[in-house]
């Protein structure tokens, strides 16, 4: 069911959360596993991608712009209460107006500070939702030689494009780079990101994407499309989930395959349940898939493109995933079509809670 959005201010965050949570619990009665509803409409500039859910149930969603749209910017981060009502918005400061809006992944620390990956410029922003104060937390470098910036070739060359982020137990921030075949590590407290892991097997036009900790010693990340080291088109490319163990010295261990998708699934973000099940967004297949702790597919919805078209708002390049109680919220990115009618966050019934994320005190 689509909900109307009511705009408030940052000071409104947290008000009515207990009542909203109770109403949300009532609504879950009789829902089937992986049932899909619309959680919230996302205002302009739209193209929601990053999402994170605070301990009090406040949902933060980041926005971008489609490449073909006027580069008006800037990005905004919207805050919704647990029922999907819009309660606050934050305009991102310091973006390059030549590129428009460009916020991708979101994360939080133990103080409730929201960390947003920005593409214009390439940085991590720390946003205090209570005050609206924004500071630059981390920066990224160009590592690969093949990069054609400020053009339609940016995504298909090896320009620095940080995409997903997650905190480790030591307060370091781990960040995927979708085009440079890298995982960055930002030291506790912020600063210049360092290359933590790189491997030719993850080179691709859509490479390393969503990232989460499986446990305190293991990272999992998504590879949206396999690259030259794993076979070339014209066959439809698959996606992969990989794991990497963190050694005693903090370095990266071996790259291990956890799951390989069907052709043309296009995995993006994911979230891990307490059970170990993995709920992942499939951008190209326009669906949510569920994997067992052993890496076996156990559920998918919508099952077909025809079923997707029957939704109130069809899935359109679903991107990031975050748990809200016993549901997963999935941002509808609409990266390729750029359809404003698709600017929503979907609510997918999981029937189980998410695994607690590492949210250390880092500042």
* Residue 195 near residue 177, CB atoms below 8 Å: no
- Residue 291 pairs in a beta bridge with 278, 297
| Mean pLDDT over the full length of the chain | 87
- The two tokens of residue 23 are 């109403």
pTM of the model: 0.89
pLDDT computed for residue 188 by the predictor = 96
What does the pLDDT look like over 113-172, one tens digit per residue? 999 999 889 999 999 999 999 999 999 988 876 666 654 444 555 676 889 999 999 999
User: Do 162 and 177 contact (CB within 8 A), yes or no?
Assistant: yes
Residue 20 pLDDT exceeds 60: no
Handedness of CA 263, 245, 179, 228 (dihedral sign): negative
Beta-bridge mates of residue 51: 61
Task: Pull the structure tokens for residue 247.
Answer: 């050694």
**Omega into 63 within 30° of 0, i.e. cis?**
no
d(CA 333, CA 89): 18
Distance set, CA 302 to CA 39, 41, 108, 133 (Å): 17, 20, 30, 40
**Band of residue 319 on the pLDDT scale cut at 50, 70, 90:** very high
**Sole residue written with tokens 């390729």:** 336
Of all residues in the chain, what percent carry a pLDDT higher than 70?
A: 85
The residue-averaged pLDDT of 212-232 equals 86
Please answer whether residues 162 and 122 qualify as being in contact, where contact means their C-beta atoms are separated by less than 8 angstroms: yes
Extract the runs of DSSP E, i.e. beta strands, from 98-147: 103-108, 114-119, 122-127, 134-139
Q: How confident is the model at residue 11 (pLDDT cuts 50, 70, 90)?
A: very low
**Per-residue pLDDT for 235 more than 60?**
no
Write the pLDDT tens digit of every residue in 266-292.
999 999 999 999 999 999 999 999 999
Is the pLDDT reported for residue 19 higher than 70? no
Residue 12, pLDDT > 60, answer: no
Distance CA 326, CA 350 (A): 6
Q: How do the residues of the chain divide into helix, strand and coil, expressed in percent and rounded to 5?
A: 10, 40, 50
CA quadruple 88, 77, 49, 198: dihedral positive or negative? negative
Give the model's confidence band at 4: pLDDT under 50 very low, under 70 low, under 90 confident, else very high.
Answer: very low
Q: Are 317 and 334 in contact (CB under 8 A)?
A: yes
Best CA proximity match to 101, nearest among 86, 88, 119: 119
- 75 with 63: CB under 8 angstroms? yes
pLDDT tens digit sequence for 61-81: 999 887 677 777 899 999 999
Residue 311 has a pLDDT of 97
Provide the token pair at 312.
């109130």
Q: What percent of the chain has pLDDT over 90?
A: 70
Query: What confidence score (pLDDT) does residue 6 get?
Result: 34
pLDDT band of residue 362 (cuts 50, 70, 90) is confident
């Amino acid at each position: 069911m689509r909900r109307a959005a009511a705009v408030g201010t940052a000071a409104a965050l947290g008000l009515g959360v207990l009542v909203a949570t109770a109403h949300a619990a009532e609504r879950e009665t009789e829902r089937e596993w992986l049932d899909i509803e619309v959680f919230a409409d996302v205002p302009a500039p739209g193209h929601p991608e990053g999402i994170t859910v605070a301990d009090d149930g406040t949902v933060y969603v980041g926005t971008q712009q489609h490449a073909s749209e006027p580069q008006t910017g800037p990005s905004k981060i919207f805050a919704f209460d647990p029922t999907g009502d819009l309660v606050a918005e934050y305009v991102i400061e310091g973006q390059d107006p030549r590129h428009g809006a460009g916020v991708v992944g979101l994360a939080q620390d133990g103080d409730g500070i929201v960390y947003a990956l920005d593409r214009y410029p390439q940085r991590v922003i720390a946003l205090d939702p209570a005050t609206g104060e924004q500071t630059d937390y981390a920066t990224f470098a160009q590592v690969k030689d093949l990069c054609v910036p400020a053009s339609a070739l940016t995504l298909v060359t090896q320009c620095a494009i940080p995409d997903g982020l997650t905190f480790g137990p030591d307060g370091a921030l781990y960040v995927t780079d979708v085009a440079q075949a890298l995982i960055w590590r930002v030291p506790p407290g912020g600063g210049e990101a360092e290359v933590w892991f790189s491997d030719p097997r993850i080179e691709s036009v859509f490479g390393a994407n969503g990232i989460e900790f499986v446990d305190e010693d293991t990272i999992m990340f998504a590879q949206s499309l396999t690259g030259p080291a794993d076979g070339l088109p014209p066959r439809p490319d698959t996606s992969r989930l990989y794991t990497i163990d963190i050694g005693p010295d903090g370095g990266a261990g071996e790259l291990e395959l956890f799951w390989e998708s069907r052709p043309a699934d296009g995995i993006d973000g994911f979230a891990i349940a307490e059970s170990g099940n993995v709920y992942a967004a499939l951008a190209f297949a326009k669906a949510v898939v569920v994997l067992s702790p052993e890496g076996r597919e156990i559920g998918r919805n919508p099952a077909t493109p025809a079923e997707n078209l029957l939704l109130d708002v069809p899935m359109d390049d679903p991107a990031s995933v975050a748990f809200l109680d016993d549901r997963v919220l999935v941002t509808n990115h609409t990266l390729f079509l750029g359809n404003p009618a698709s600017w929503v966050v979907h609510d997918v019934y999981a029937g189980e809670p998410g695994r607690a994320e590492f949210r250390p005190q880092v500042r």
